[in-house]
Amino acid sequence: MHWKLYLDDERYPFSNDWVIARNYHDAMWYVKNYGLPFHISFDHDLGTTTFSGMDFAKAFCDYIMDNNIPYNGMSFYVHSMNPVGAENIRSYMTQFINDYWNISIYNT
């Protein structure tokens, strides 16, 4: 299934072709039930929950490694207004894709 994940507790994507997850748990549910998304757009601060977009990024990468999921060409973008959190997600995801899948990407 070719799908895109938009992780944000309050904002909406610019088009209707996204699956919207409002929190960490919903995002993980979609990944486990729909498979690897083709694109992810991350928010860092997810309202009053104790889990952030960074927590999802780490769990997402762990899930890929634990299940030996092959690279599908996925890309990501971080739309968070939190500059430190956004950079942490960008760095983590870039490093994971470069190291685990051995795919050289630029920060997207």
Asked if the structure places residue 106 within a domain, the reply is no
Token pair listed for 66: 């634990």
The pLDDT value given to residue 104: 74
Q: Kindly state whether residue 40 falls inside one of the protein's structural domains.
A: yes
pLDDT above 80: residue 108: no
Q: Do the domain assignments include residue 4?
A: no
Give residue 106's pLDDT: 60
Q: Read off the amino acid at residue 47.
A: G
- Token representation of residue 48: 């009053």
- 86 in a structural domain: yes
User: In the predicted model, is pLDDT for residue 105 greater than 90?
Assistant: no
Is 20 contained in some domain?
Answer: yes
Residues 45 and 82: beta-carbon distance below 8 Å = yes
Structural domain including 46 reads 9-100
Instruction: Look up the pTM and report it.
Output: 0.93
Domain contains 1: no
**Would you say residue 67 lies in a domain?**
yes
Structure confidence by residue, pLDDT tens digits, 52-69: 999 999 999 999 999 999
* pLDDT single digits (tens) 71-102: 999 999 999 999 999 999 999 999 999 999 98
Q: What total of structural domains would you count in the chain?
A: 1
The answer to whether residue 59 is domain-embedded is yes
φ and ψ at 40, to 5 degrees?
Answer: -125, 135
